[in-house]
Amino acid sequence: QRRMWDFHELVYHSRSRLGRSGFRVGATWEFRDEIPQPPILRDSPWRDNGVLPLYRPTVLSRDMPLFEAMETRRSVRAYSPAPITAWELGEFLYRTMRVRAHVKSGDYEVASRPYPNGGGIYEQELYVTVEACADLPRGFYHYDPVAHALCPISPPDADMSMLIEEAVSATAGLGRPQILFTIASRFGGFNWKYSAMCYAAQLKNVGAIYQTMYLVATAMGLGACGLGLGNADRFARMTGHDYATEGSIGEFMIGRPL
CA 77 to chain CA mean position, Å: 18
Per-residue pLDDT of the chain (258 residues; tens, 9 = 90+): 889 999 999 998 998 988 887 788 889 999 999 999 999 998 899 999 999 999 999 866 577 899 999 999 999 999 999 999 999 999 999 999 999 999 988 889 999 999 999 999 999 999 999 999 999 999 999 999 999 999 999 999 999 999 999 999 999 999 999 999 999 999 999 999 999 999 999 999 999 999 999 999 999 999 999 999 999 999 999 999 999 999 999 999 999 999
CA distances from 38 to 7, 31, 107, 156, 166 (A): 33, 11, 10, 32, 32
Give CA 71 to chain center in angstroms: 23
Asked if residues 241 and 232 have their Cβ atoms less than 8 Å apart, the reply is no
| Cα–Cα distance, 127 to 85 (Å, whole number) | 17
